[in-house]
Amino acid sequence: MEEFAGTETWRVFRIMSEFVDGFESLRNVGPAVSVFGSARARRNDWSYKATMKITELLSRRGYSIISGGGPGIMEAANRGARRGKGLSIGLNISLPTEQKPNRFQDKSLVFRHFFSRKVMFVKYASGYIIMPGGFGTLDEFFESLTLLQTGKIRRFPVVMMGKKYWEGLLRWMEKVMVAEGTISPSDLEFFFLTDDPHQAAEHIIQFHLERVRTVGERRKVAALPPEEPPTL
């Protein structure tokens, strides 16, 4: 194998190993929700607290939580999963400026390539939570819409948290993209916008209670009690 060392051919084997490791490590996680948002969120921010609340609620109802494994919203997602006694998963990425893994992960994987990591986010997800974030968050959001629109993945709920943060973008999508015919009005039904963690969790849970879950989602998902207050 020495003749392949350091070549593009050898790189294929490294990429393959990331997929194999990811598939083997995550194949039995059960129903899971992937969470995206800014790594720059601070612990006192609304977005951090809201993320902790929604992931705690989902964890208590049988969902595993998947994050990018780093700080900010990723840390909040894993921390909420721990509070909810659910499986807390981090899909970390190796970057030139090192991303330090947060300490709230039960299962932690490290990827060299964004594309193999992104496959794991969507392959094992029964839902997405999109918190306020930057380019990476937008990338995951629009990729999920593309996959849903083209039927490349099964339909699952996409929840956007933070009306003030996202309304401008969503208004532009409606006023420009729909008006120009580049997307259909029905494409705007792929996601649900709210500020309420309880409402967000209930949206995901009800979606799965009303539809047949796929093979592999073995753990029972319980209904969310409506009387539980949406406090942070």
Q: What is the DSSP string of 92-118?
A: EE--SSPPPPPTT-SEEEEES-HHHHH
CA distance 207 to 31: 12
Q: What is the pLDDT of residue 230?
A: 40
Residue-by-residue pLDDT tens, the chain, 232 positions: 444 455 777 888 888 888 888 898 888 888 999 999 999 999 999 999 999 999 999 999 999 999 999 999 999 999 999 999 999 999 998 877 656 889 999 999 989 888 889 999 999 999 999 999 999 999 999 999 999 999 998 999 999 999 999 999 999 999 999 999 999 999 999 999 999 999 999 999 999 988 755 434 444 555 555 444 444 4
DSSP 219: S
- With beta carbons less than 8 A apart as the criterion, state whether 29 and 124 touch: yes
Return the bridge partners of 108, or none: 90
Q: Helices 114-123 and 135-149 meet at what angle, rounded to 10?
A: 50
CATH topology for the 11-163+189-209 domain: Rossmann fold (3.40.50)
CA distance 187 to 184: 5
Amino acid identity for residue 70 in this structure:
G
Residues with Cβ within 8 Å of 65's Cβ and at least 6 positions away in sequence, in order, are 32, 33, 35, 55, 58, 59, 77, 78, 80, 81, 86, 87, 88, 89
CA distance 8 to 14: 10
Q: Where are the domains of the chain?
A: 11-163+189-209
Q: How far apart are the first and last CA of the chain?
A: 55
* pTM confidence score: 0.85
CA distance 225 to 17: 42
- Strands (E) located in the chain: 32-36, 64-67, 88-93, 107-111, 128-130, 158-161, 191-194
The helix (run of H) or strand (run of E) holding residue 3 is none
In the structure encoding, which two tokens stand for residue 157, read together? Answer: 């709920």
Q: What is the pLDDT of residue 210?
A: 82
